[in-house]
Amino acid sequence: MEFGVMISPVPRAGTLQEMQAANERILAAASRNGWGLWFVDHLQSGEMPYLEGWTHMVHSSARFPELTIGNIVLCQNYRNPGLVANMAATLQFLSGGKLIFGIGAGWKEDEYLAYNYDFPRPGVRLDQLEEALQVITALWSGERVTVEGEHYRVTDAIALPAPDPVPPIMIGGNGNRTVGIAARYADWWNSDLVTPAVVREKVALLKDKSVAAGRAPDAVRVTSFNMLSMSRDPDKVVRQGSRPEIHVVAGTPDEVRDQIAEYRDAGVTYMQINFMDFPSGETLELFEEIAKDL
């Protein structure tokens, strides 16, 4: 199992200064262990300060050029796909090929409306995601391209320097149609806050859809984004997410080892960790201890 860590854009229970200090501890641990760095793509959370994800990622990439970087995941509606293809190509060049390009259909209605984005029904957002991927992959060819979609289009457009290597595309989302889009376009598929049983079910679908798309059944790498609460004191462990549908990896170090093994057995080879006790560092310290054995 390989790991990445989420760099928090919000202070949560702390101040901005405490957020920065906690993120520095996570970044230092990632550098020691070779973990990837992951950045969410949201715009607001109540009244808390919220750092914009692409900017945060680029800044961190310049500071830690040895580490892979990615968004978990970009909301395709927030940026024109032709522009984001060019942004990604530029970052891939400047980072020396460290970008993993995470993207999804988007879901957070209040954020869309607050920032004056249209919020169409899920089927339309998934159509838009597929068209965005067509635009992005065409532009990454380095050739002049024209793509005419219902929602997105580019005309005689070019994005140079072409990314070399082309960033792995990671599509995030648990829905069956999202899994099907991943089977056609993605190098990685990212499950989001679900149990190992759900991952196992979706992996079976991913394999079937990949074969139907003319690809190998294991063409798409299976990854998992998870909240983590861990303490040697069981009474300090948070075992429930902020919403009932959010599954949490939680327990003592031995319990967490066993739970991560369940994800591995379900097909996951890469896990992104969001530390629930942020800005405290207890879970980070314990995770660094056990990750070496996983």
Residue 34's pLDDT band (cuts 50, 70, 90): very high
Whether 240 has a pLDDT exceeding 90, the answer reads: no
Beta bridge partners of 226: 273
DSSP label at residue 56:
H
Mean pLDDT computed over 13-17: 93
Per-residue model confidence (pLDDT) at position 241: 83
What's the CA gap between 140 and 24, in Å, rounded? 33
pTM: 0.97
Whether 244 has a pLDDT exceeding 90, the answer reads: no
Residue 245's pLDDT band (cuts 50, 70, 90): confident
Structure tokens given for 174: 């648990």
Per-residue model confidence (pLDDT) at position 243: 81
Mean pLDDT computed over 216-229: 98
Residue 192's pLDDT band (cuts 50, 70, 90): very high
Structure tokens given for 67: 């580490």
Structure tokens given for 227: 């909240």
What's the CA gap between 287 and 275, in Å, rounded? 9
Q: Is the dihedral of CA 190, 236, 232, 239 positive or negative?
A: negative
Closest CA to 164 of 140, 132, 145, 188: 140
Per-residue model confidence (pLDDT) at position 122: 97
DSSP assignment of 131-196, as one string? HHHHHHHHHTTSS-EEEE-SS-EEEEE--SSPPSSPPPEEEE--SHHHHHHHHHH-SEEEEES--H
Query: pLDDT tens digits, residue range 80-111?
Result: 999 999 999 999 999 999 999 999 999 999 99
Mean pLDDT computed over 235-258: 92
- Range of weakest confidence among 59-73, 168-182, 203-217, 229-243: 229-243
Element (H, E) at 230: strand 221-230
Per-residue model confidence (pLDDT) at position 201: 98
Report whether 84 contacts 51 (CB < 8 A): no
Q: Would you tell me the crossing angle of helices 53-63 and 81-94 to the nearest 10 degrees?
A: 10
Mean pLDDT estimate for the chain:
97
Closest CA to 189 of 159, 164, 156, 213: 213
What's the CA gap between 176 and 204, in Å, rounded? 11
Percent of the chain residues topping a pLDDT of 90: 96
What's the CA gap between 187 and 164, in Å, rounded? 15
Per-residue model confidence (pLDDT) at position 242: 79
Tokens 């499950």 correspond to what residue? Answer: 191
Domains, the chain, ordered by start: 2-291 (3.20.20.30)
Amino acid at 21: A
Whether 44 has a pLDDT exceeding 90, the answer reads: yes
Length of the chain: 294
Per-residue model confidence (pLDDT) at position 175: 97
